[in-house]
Structure 1
Amino acid sequence: MTSNLYQEVYPEPPLVSNASLNHTRAADLLNLEYFEAQPSSMPYQVFDQHHILINLKKDSHRVENWRDGEHRDFIFQQHEIIVTPAGVRSGWCWHAKSKVIVITLIPSKLEKFAQSELGILLGSKQLQDIPQFIDEDICNAAVMLRDAINSQMGSEVMFESFSRIFLIKLIQKYGVQREDDLQFSKSFTAKHYQRVLEYVRKSFSYDVSLEKMATEAGLSTYHFARLFKQTIGQTPHQFLMSFRVEKAKNMLKEIDRPMMDIAMSCGFADQAHFSRVFKQLEGKTPKQYRKNS
């Protein structure tokens, strides 16, 4: 049985990998590995992740790539990036020692990050329209991310910060589809979503009603509820509860912070309400989550 994870089939172990860190929230969004691998090849298969190859080698070198039946034979330049989206069958052969950062992303997590952090609704294609390009800025962001792993002080914090920088640059530059390609109703646009998200960010600790969210979007309550569910895949109430639970997960890392204080700070009616919703979404109680974090 073949693996669908990129890390399990690369022919050499990485010299640097963020798996050596205690995972932060950022580590749940991406996986970074750095390779200096001798000439070799990788099998032709489909992966469940997007994988992004970032070339740091100064000297150009020959690389072959098989991509959904198409054979590409080209010279790989410094700062050149190759994106292979999840679900695309690909294989590789490189003819000189590599010096490459490989970043892999789970599509659903990338979509959730873009939606919750940037207010951007990624189309179903996500990164499919950008197979190969040169971008020194993205390369430098990846190098900072790699170097954070080896930092002698504050590597967890640095990795979190630089991972956000990398993801935001990637999404803002390459993750947004053209307006006429966006896969959501024209009656509920990204601007509607951004206004609602900003309102929830500011008000999640307080009473957030369906009517208030609809007012922020500039829609009637009925149309807002229907279009929001159609576009986001959650009802407004489910979205609000998910947002509050995400905030609570960060607060639970403060070991001495009382559960009641977290519950009230996140807008839950009481501690019992907090525990019930948290368990419904996370499969464990807040106390269990804190213990395992």
Structure 2
Amino acid sequence: MRKSKPVTADPSKTINIWDNLPDFPVLSSKPKAWSGILVEYYHHLANELTSPVLSQHLITLNFGQPYNLVQRLDGRIYQAQVPKGSIILTPAGQPGEWIWDNEVDVVHLCLEPEFVAKVATEAVEGGSTQIEILNSFATPDPQIQQIGQLLVAELESEKLGNRLYAESLANVLAVHLLRNYGTVKQTVQHYSGGLSQLRLKRAVEYIQEHLEQDISIEAIAAELDMSSYHFARLFKQSTGLAPHQYLIKCRVERAKELLLQGEMAIAEIATQVGFYDQSHLNRHFKRIVGVSPKIIQQNSKNVLWISSNVQDCPA
């Protein structure tokens, strides 16, 4: 069994400990600069790690085979086998030590405390800012496992629109932490009724005007003078689609319009409406319309049949 040199970070600093690991991440969201969250996929050798105070709430999700872990945290020792899909949750502001005995595949989900506090202020009745996240050790959590899988898929895809989707998932993850691992006394609110017609119209106009860009959920919410948390939930209630799903649908609709004009190549249309490449357009177009863009282009004279297969984005 290979074993890396133990890592001990500078105890005088509050840090993101994963910046000090000898391993390099297989995947990382750093270049994408997602708001509030850092996602990194690592293959760690057997190792031990001593950390001073963490600057972020750290969720370590086991993506591979079970491994044995010893954790020293807040004066206590925890020891267990960590099954696939289980998490180690270490709150910001705590020092710790970890020892694992095998090679592991893990995803580190690092949430900024300010981001979690902001979500709490937006989502909790009374706007509570007294938030404490509790540590959790070798805990199965299917919802975090699913969120982690979706975020890793976004890192692997390299497609436009990832930012909107990833930041939506980060909001969901923060609310999940508040509900299940937080000391918030108030009940996380559930909102109903959807957006007003005026706000919905403004949101749709903003999306349609920025189809070719990697739109962030914060940008749309700011346009409506709303929080990201409220906007995402009310938008879905109004449209039946999450913002990132609606964005894809509008891109497909715009692509359909350009295909009917018959003046541009499919690859050119794909990039103009915000898809990463032609194959990215093909996949979503066929899923929504039922046929490929090429078939639409070849049958562009039959406008009535084509239009009946895609519901227009409301203006």
The percentage of aligned residue pairs carrying the same residue is 17
The Cα offsets for residues 119-139 of structure 1, whole Å up to 9 and x where unpaired, read as 565663442164542023321
| C-alpha distance in 2 between matches for 1:158 and 1:85 | 27
Where does structure 1 lack aligned partners over 5 or more consecutive residues?
184-188, 206-248, 256-261, 268-293
Contact kept, 8 Å, 1:11 with 1:40, in 2: the verdict is no
Aligned to 2:169: 165
| C-alpha distance in 1 between matches for 2:80 and 2:124 | 37
* TM-aligned CA distance change 1:175 to 1:266, over 3 Å: closer
Matched, 1:40 2:47: yes
Matched, 1:13 2:20: no
The Cα offsets for residues 8-52 of structure 1, whole Å up to 9 and x where unpaired, read as 22231111101132x3xxx11100001001111212311121000
Q: How does 1:94-173 map to 2 (within 5 A)?
A: 94-116=100-122, 118=123, 121=127, 124-128=130-134, 130-152=136-158, 154=159, 156-168=160-172, 170-173=173-176
Aligned to 1:272: none
Contact kept, 8 Å, 2:59 with 2:88, in 1: the verdict is yes
Shift of 1:157: 1.4
Where does structure 2 lack aligned partners over 5 or more consecutive residues?
1-11, 200-205, 213-219, 226-315
Question: Which amino acid counterpart does residue 161 of structure 2 have in structure 1?
Answer: V
Q: How does 1:282-293 map to 2 (within 5 A)?
A: none
| C-alpha distance in 2 between matches for 1:52 and 1:96 | 19
SS in 1 for 2:30: helix
Question: What is the aligned counterpart of 2:87 among 81, 89, 93?
Answer: 81
Contact kept, 8 Å, 2:132 with 2:184, in 1: the verdict is no
Aligned to 1:235: none
SS in 1 for 2:130: coil
Question: Which amino acid counterpart does residue 158 of structure 1 have in structure 2?
Answer: N
* TM-aligned CA distance change 1:266 to 1:45, over 3 Å: closer
| C-alpha distance in 2 between matches for 1:98 and 1:179 | 28
Question: Which amino acid counterpart does residue 112 of structure 1 have in structure 2?
Answer: K
Aligned to 2:59: 52
Q: Pick the structure with greater CA Rg.
A: 2
| C-alpha distance in 1 between matches for 2:48 and 2:35 | 28
Contact kept, 8 Å, 1:130 with 1:174, in 2: the verdict is no
Shift of 1:2: 3.8
Shift of 1:253: 7.1
TM-score (normalised: structure 1): 0.56
Shift of 1:173: 3.6
Matched, 1:31 2:38: yes
SS in 2 for 1:176: helix
* TM-aligned CA distance change 1:8 to 1:254, over 3 Å: same
| C-alpha distance in 2 between matches for 1:17 and 1:178 | 25
* TM-aligned CA distance change 1:160 to 1:122, over 3 Å: farther
SS in 2 for 1:34: strand
Shift of 1:177: 7.3
SS in 2 for 1:28: coil
Shift of 1:4: 1.4
Shift of 1:190: 6.1
| C-alpha distance in 1 between matches for 2:105 and 2:188 | 38
Contact kept, 8 Å, 1:126 with 1:176, in 2: the verdict is no
Aligned to 1:64: 70
TM-score (normalised: structure 2): 0.53
Alpha-carbon RMSD across the aligned residues, in angstroms, is 4.1
* TM-aligned CA distance change 1:140 to 1:124, over 3 Å: same
| Number of residue-to-residue matches in the alignment | 204
